[in-house]
Structure 1
Amino acid sequence: MSGRTSRLVVISNRVQSPKAASGGNQGGLAVALLAALREKGGVWFGWSGETVESFTGAIDLQQAGGVATATVDLEPQDVDEYYNGYANRSLWPLFHDRIDLTRFERDFEGGYLRVNRRFATTVRPLIGEGDLVWVHDYHLIPLGRELRRLGVANRLGFFLHIPWPPTRILMSLPSHEPLVRSLFDYDVVGFHTQDWLDAFLHYVTRQLGAELGENGIVTLGERSVRAIVAPIGIDAGEFETAARSEQAKFAHDRMHMSATGRSMIVGVDRLDYSKGLPERFGSYERFLTQHPDLQGLVYMLQIAPPSREKVDTYQAIRAELDAVSGRINGEFADIDWVPIRYVNKGYPRDELAGIYRAARVALVTPLRDGMNLVAKEYVAAQDPDDPGVLVLSIFAGAAAQLTAALLVNPYSADEVADAIALALRMPREERVRRWRALLDNIRREDVFWWRDRFLGALEQH
């Protein structure tokens, strides 16, 4: 290696362009990676989101804000099989314990492997000697293996942003063994929580015969990988600032006026079956039934922007939520009160910060979630003198860090209903105490801490 600082090559399914990020609505992951790319130099590579009749491997290289991005177009068949198929009909439901929604098709797996090979071949000329290569998420698990086959000897890291499934569930995936073995072509593999790491270690030791060493080193044959826990955070300082912006203040005041003295309960989730939205609506209905004295004094705002609309299971969840919210409103609404406001659109981050700040309670109750950054954003947006209360699923990765939240089992309508009532009646002193403990963690283990933790491990390996 030369004496220069290692450049960083980031590879993910999609790329956040610095130009789009300059609008202030970028996610925490994009903020951290773009900052690292500015500091180290390098490039962010991924799919453009566009299709082309025949794959050429032509790279669209852009430079903006001190960051280089490189994107490639895929064929429609690639998108159907790799993205809509294997990634989102096979791996996503399986890794979220929804084997009932998982579809196994040879064409899906073939397309997934083909696109990973195409990514590897296309990005290979962009990787220089000594560069650190950081691959992200379930779309690109075999990419490290494909890069090694092309002679890439650089340090390769992989981070999984979703849960790792229990062994008994993972074994239902055809070709599960070669998929997992491909992770041993990386030098470092990262997970959000100890639970996800333990599930990975259980599989590789029981099914593959891997051996555990010191400092997280796992050895399989001649290959060793370091497996670490590195929970992702948010840009806490930026989000706290966003909550005090004019856009946030306007959104806060708008919510306050529309509430007409009622307490708001908020949920913000991408429209996905893993988020437990039908169960959440049912829990809220249970709360209304058990606390008739609070009917008319609260309302629930559920923001659920649609996603992956070409996948049939997402169409089904939207139809179900339309029906459930309509039934609850029909049963409980009065001439001047609607218990659920259900909105199928997204909002800019500054507006969301203001909405969070106006909410007395946040319901973050996924059935299974790798991390869930909404929980952290809600805490960061709160008024220090009068903070709201976070109700958080024990099955969200964030629960391992945010222990001062009201932790609940999202499958239990009674438990979530009780937590809503407790949150609404919680004295200010207890709300402040819990909020301070949550904010301390969110500030300390922010997205830059996460980035530095992972890259530090990769540089040391």
Structure 2
Amino acid sequence: MGKLIVVSNRVGPLKDTGKAGGLAVALVDVLRERGGVWFGWSGQVSEEGTFGEMKRQKSRNVELATVDMNKADYEEFYAGYANRTLWPILHYRLDLAEFDRPYEQGYRRVNERFATRLKPLIEPGDVVWVHDYHFFTLAGQLRAMGVECRIGFFLHIPFPSPDIITALPRHTALVRSMLAYDVIGFQSNRDRNHFIEYLIQEAGGERVGEDRVRAFGREVVVKAFPIGIDAEGFSQFPKSPEGRRQSQRIKAILGDRAQIVGVDRVDYSKGIPHRFRAFERLLEDYPENRGRVSLLQVAPPSRSELDAYVDIQRELEHLAGQINGRFADVDWTPIRFIMRGFPRKALAGLYRSSRIALVTPLRDGMNLVAKEYVAAQDPEDPGVLVLSRFAGAAEELNESVIVNPYDTEEVAGSLQMALQMPLDERKSRYEAMFNKIVTNDAKRWAESFLSYLSG
């Protein structure tokens, strides 16, 4: 068996620094088991860009290999096509998508350049696993260069219905290039079915088995592989010194009050303004919660160079100020809005000390916050997960309280139900969800995908 080569826009770290996401930890584990290379962008912009020296860093049998981008690559490929065109379309936001031909040309150029730099690292018998929307066309470029090894692709974000994706100029060329992969994985059955519907409706494709589709002269595996977390590992984090310290701080602030927590990057797909309005509705419709329940929203900024993100940040600050001005008392602030991240162990303590997690994206491939919240709970006194029906996690975690994030009245009513939920019901819901996330953890996700990819 050859080595595993993982490709993603950003790579590493090879060591769990406490801030590394669950995906990074899972990929490092599977790379260590098989030995391999993690290839991607260095995060640096330089004059030489992809033509510059490849940076290489090795730890035991795993190597990080990264290249820079130049300014044009960054603006056209990353800030442009990836984040101004593909991201909004894949999250059903046609109104925010920008269709700029230089962006698309930059996207294809960078995919070609990455393929050129990657090819010398590939040896006979190797397996290549490509991640996310930055590299839809990478396998097509590698095949054109004569690479014949098995190449798989996993999309971490949603794939929309055909009527949305067909709004993308030259969508057929993009999807055709995806068929150069041998295995194409999605977070949920809904996303997988949308992709298959596209192939059948737009490309004359046909299903040739439960998980196999033929289109554009290729037969590929198309399957849902719901991503997991290291649930057992995360469940120990609240007991760590950092986790306990965070829990104690929160309890000292709250006293006998209840806390609702939301943890998201500032992004229009996360539905945070809708969440603030639903919490306002809770205080309006159920006034007994005034002074008794608060919302803590942790929202580190992302993609701050894009106008849409500046706008949503301003909207959130305005909404929080408006709601606090309306309902706050001298000893109680309804919404605490923190625009920075926390290390994972501290975050686990924050989850455990929150009676409810309000996870209400308007669209999400999976949403690992939902799984982390469940993992962090005290089995003897667990909190309640209130989860958007439009998160991929809702397919698995159907014992959560499922809501329509657009319906503020429904979300407010569900929050009230969760606040009043008796202990035995909270425990039975928690136990069912915890068993699922332990069984379908990050290790199993990676092994399942790679078992299909290895053929």
TM superposition score normalised by structure 1: 0.97
Distance 1:65 1:424 in 2: 49
Sequence identity, in percent? Answer: 50
Equivalences for residues 175-254 of structure 1 within 5 A: 175-254=170-249
Contact 1:215 1:226 in 2 (8 A): no
Instruction: Give the CA deviation at 1:220.
Output: 1.7
Distance 2:140 2:53 in 1: 22
Instruction: Give the CA deviation at 1:281.
Output: 0.3
Q: In structure 1, what is the equivalent of residue 290 of structure 2?
A: 295
Instruction: Give the AA of the match of 1:438.
Output: M
Distance 2:216 2:415 in 1: 51
Q: Is the counterpart of residue 44 in structure 1 residue 28 in structure 2?
A: no
Distance 1:238 1:221 in 2: 43
Contact 1:283 1:414 in 2 (8 A): yes
Aligned mate of 2:104, from 100, 105, 109: 109
Q: Is the counterpart of residue 341 in structure 1 residue 336 in structure 2?
A: yes
Distance 2:387 2:61 in 1: 38
Distance 2:60 2:408 in 1: 48
Q: In structure 2, what is the equivalent of residue 283 of structure 1?
A: 278
Instruction: Give the CA deviation at 1:240.
Output: 0.8
Contact 1:57 1:118 in 2 (8 A): no
Distance 1:165 1:279 in 2: 21
Contact 1:365 1:393 in 2 (8 A): yes
Contact 1:57 1:122 in 2 (8 A): no
Distance 1:54 1:7 in 2: 29
Distance 2:216 2:85 in 1: 28
Instruction: Give the AA of the match of 1:9.
Output: I
State the Cα deviation string for residues 36-80 of structure 1 (Å, max 9, x = none).
111111100000000111332421011125420000000011001
Q: In structure 2, what is the equivalent of residue 12 of structure 1?
A: 8
Instruction: Give the AA of the match of 2:429.
Output: R
Contact 1:380 1:439 in 2 (8 A): yes
Secondary structure of 1:228's counterpart equals: strand
Distance 1:213 1:177 in 2: 21
Instruction: Give the CA deviation at 1:197.
Output: 0.6
Aligned mate of 2:20, from 19, 26, 35: 26
Distance 1:64 1:299 in 2: 45
Instruction: Give the CA deviation at 1:260.
Output: 2.5
Contact 2:9 2:41 in 1 (8 A): yes
Instruction: Give the CA deviation at 1:155.
Output: 0.2
Secondary structure of 2:239's counterpart equals: coil
Decide whether aligned partners of structure 1 residues 256 and 450 sit closer, same or farther in structure 2, where only a CA change above 3 A counts: same
Equivalences for residues 60-459 of structure 1 within 5 A: 60-459=55-454
Distance 2:69 2:33 in 1: 30
Distance 2:216 2:323 in 1: 57
Contact 1:306 1:345 in 2 (8 A): yes
Secondary structure of 1:165's counterpart equals: coil
State the Cα deviation string for residues 329-355 of structure 1 (Å, max 9, x = none).
000111111100000000000000000
Provide the aligned C-alpha RMSD in A.
0.9
State the Cα deviation string for residues 131-188 of structure 1 (Å, max 9, x = none).
0000000000000000001110000000000110111111111110100011110000
Secondary structure of 2:226's counterpart equals: coil
Instruction: Give the CA deviation at 1:328.
Output: 0.3
Instruction: Give the CA deviation at 1:28.
Output: 1.6
Distance 2:60 2:415 in 1: 44
Q: Structure 2: which 5+ runs fail to align?
A: none
Contact 1:361 1:390 in 2 (8 A): yes
Distance 1:112 1:367 in 2: 26
Contact 1:408 1:419 in 2 (8 A): yes
Distance 1:413 1:66 in 2: 51
Instruction: Give the AA of the match of 1:286.
Output: R
Secondary structure of 1:261's counterpart equals: coil
Instruction: Give the AA of the match of 2:4.
Output: L
Instruction: Give the total of aligned pairs.
Output: 454
Instruction: Give the AA of the match of 2:94.
Output: I
Instruction: Give the CA deviation at 1:17.
Output: 2.3
State the Cα deviation string for residues 347-401 of structure 1 (Å, max 9, x = none).
0000000000000000000000000000000000000100000000000000000
Contact 1:7 1:42 in 2 (8 A): yes
Secondary structure of 1:69's counterpart equals: strand
TM superposition score normalised by structure 2: 0.99
Runs of 4+ in 1 over 6 A off after TM superposition: none
